[in-house]
Structure 1
């Protein structure tokens, strides 16, 4: 059910244009075109084989960056509908928000960031901007996807204003096309950020149970989750374990979504925003969890951190992933000619400068899937240790 459009919603007719002007489509809004370009990008397809928590080859059942991004987009559309916001813009931001992730999830990002510290570091949000503004090279008239300012702003700032020092990959583009990094993003981008939180809190519990890292009984003492299981048990006392888990987790999902909607409605009334400009300059997020639910989520995240992200099997995968990223980065940096031929023009433009070469290596390595990075390590360096 779509509610009446809020006065502070983003509207296609007032979008702030593209870096390279284009004629408008006769049958799609500018935000629909943004979404479609993201879906058709090479970087989006590669998310299919990039880790969320478990390595891509661990099992077909676990979430990948692609399935996670689709879940985030679905949640974001639901919340936007209830708040009267533009669901097309929020979907575009949601689908693009993880494009800059390295192989092997946050482990890969942490490793690459450490390796890139002498050259400006690595940040996946900034890399997403680099991908959609430069590294996707399919169109005749420009590099990148030529997304609207509103979409680019949402990708760059969906987690809030970008504080100094601004990652180089974002600073480079911002110097050409000011994204107003010091303000909040649109309400639609804020919805995408909270939808990310909702999706991963829900599916990390699901995947952790599936992987046997903890049992349902251990969740009963957690806030929100425990209450959801007790509600299911009271209503369906003889339910089989798989259905019991599904019913409880979908209730948990619903609690998070409903809290964001009710809290954000109240915050919108407090801010009294009459335009998207007012949202950007409100000085605080409009879309948020209630303080009580946010406190409960911190308890849940602490449990997942201890029992899932630091589980021995996951830690072993992290060590293996770090070894691959470090080995490939050092190998390509020492011998950049190992990069594919299509990257050699960029290397020539770098004129042998170590800084530029490192950033080219980072671009190439961060775009790899888990599977391809593993294969390249074994091809160029040798077998992985057990």
Structure 2
């Protein structure tokens, strides 16, 4: 790994773990975090969790696992050029979606509605909110059961901070009460996370914009003709054709996306370097006191927003996708009701023993798409996804 810049997170100076542990003889603290994430149950489940298309709809569509790997690859590439800690970037990237429900955002919305509807009178509203960022932190802090001395994975502060990339004030107050001056502190009192955390947030956006174009065209829901209306993509399609006039089909799509990704990566590197220099930061503490520094240029940011709006209108809200979304909501809602009425139907012994709405939400959130579909059919007799 390249030498760390002064503003990069040094594992030797980490704010540490919630439960102190002896240092490993051959790995840094952030390398251990990455390894713990990779060996977790929640990480393995990502292979069967929806990105845009359900896992059974096609073997080549992205899942939460392949998405996380692409975020990690982009993040490490950019981190190396900026002198940031690649291992921390990789750990955050691989963990950032651990809390996603089956069926992607449709599952999250349904589970949040279920949880809020069953909140006890007078309860802290934030404790009865479901949001996948919060759930990712909950997974690594509490739900993984791998170690004898503590719940969760006991990750470093810096990794946990990167996982919690956004948080409402209500949720931040709830987390701050449990962990004063912890990972939610900045959402209440201002400041920024590490540059590594900022980078993962942007690498996430770069990755899903690019691979959702690929999956959208592969699915037949998007066409290259439609994408001609997106300046960011069309510029690179024309550039690909200028170098390879006879290029067509999937090779043209792949080359256009490759060129777009490369330019976005270089744009982030150049813009972020300039912002770091202009801010005069020379330490992690200075980074935390500054405004966010890892960013697109203004031109690239504007073009990326146009692409995001295009994908929202034409892919995420396509009738074929929304039809799947409605069925997914039904699966989650009906599973929640079934388990709440009959906790003994849940396969996890600890969850069965609690049998409350929060534990039911945790159990369902951990499911893969196909397990949720099978369980729904077993408990209701209905087959919503033939």
Above 0.5 in TM-score? yes
Residue 131 of structure 1 aligns with which residue?
139
Structure 1 position 196, deviation (Å): 0.1
Contact 2:79 2:86 in 1 (8 A): yes
Query: Residues of 2 paired with 1:164 and 1:312: CA distance?
Result: 34
Residue 347 of structure 2 aligns with which residue?
340
Residue 255 of structure 1 aligns with which residue?
263
Contact 1:72 1:195 in 2 (8 A): yes
Residue 166 of structure 1 aligns with which residue?
171
Matched, 1:34 2:33: yes
Unpaired runs of 5+ in structure 2? 120-127
Residue 353 of structure 1 aligns with which residue?
none
The 5 A counterparts of 1:302-381 are 302-344=309-351, 346-347=353-354, 357-381=356-380
Contact 1:3 1:83 in 2 (8 A): no
Relative to structure 1, the CA distance from residue 169 to residue 42 in structure 2 (aligned partners, 3 Å threshold; closer, same or farther) is farther
Contact 1:19 1:177 in 2 (8 A): no
- Counterpart among 273, 277, 282 of residue 265 in structure 1: 273
Residue 306 of structure 2 aligns with which residue?
299
- Counterpart among 178, 186, 195 of residue 187 in structure 1: 195
Structure 1 position 167, deviation (Å): 6.2
Query: Residues of 2 paired with 1:77 and 1:337: CA distance?
Result: 44
Contact 1:152 1:179 in 2 (8 A): no
- For residue 185 of structure 2, give the secondary structure of its aligned residue in structure 1: coil
Cα RMSD, aligned residues only: 1.8
Query: Residues of 2 paired with 1:61 and 1:169: CA distance?
Result: 40
Matched, 1:276 2:276: no
Query: 1:249-285: per-residue Cα shift (whole Å, max 9, x none)?
Result: 1001112111111111111012111111111111x21
Relative to structure 1, the CA distance from residue 310 to residue 100 in structure 2 (aligned partners, 3 Å threshold; closer, same or farther) is same
Query: 1:120-164: per-residue Cα shift (whole Å, max 9, x none)?
Result: 2201111111111111011111111111111111112x34xx341
Structure 1 position 13, deviation (Å): 1.0
Relative to structure 1, the CA distance from residue 345 to residue 325 in structure 2 (aligned partners, 3 Å threshold; closer, same or farther) is closer
Residue 354 of structure 1 aligns with which residue?
none
Structure 1 position 334, deviation (Å): 2.3
TM-score, normalised via structure 1 length: 0.92
Structure 1 position 300, deviation (Å): 0.9
Residue 236 of structure 2 aligns with which residue?
228
TM-score, normalised via structure 2 length: 0.92
Aligned length: 373
Contact 2:78 2:265 in 1 (8 A): yes
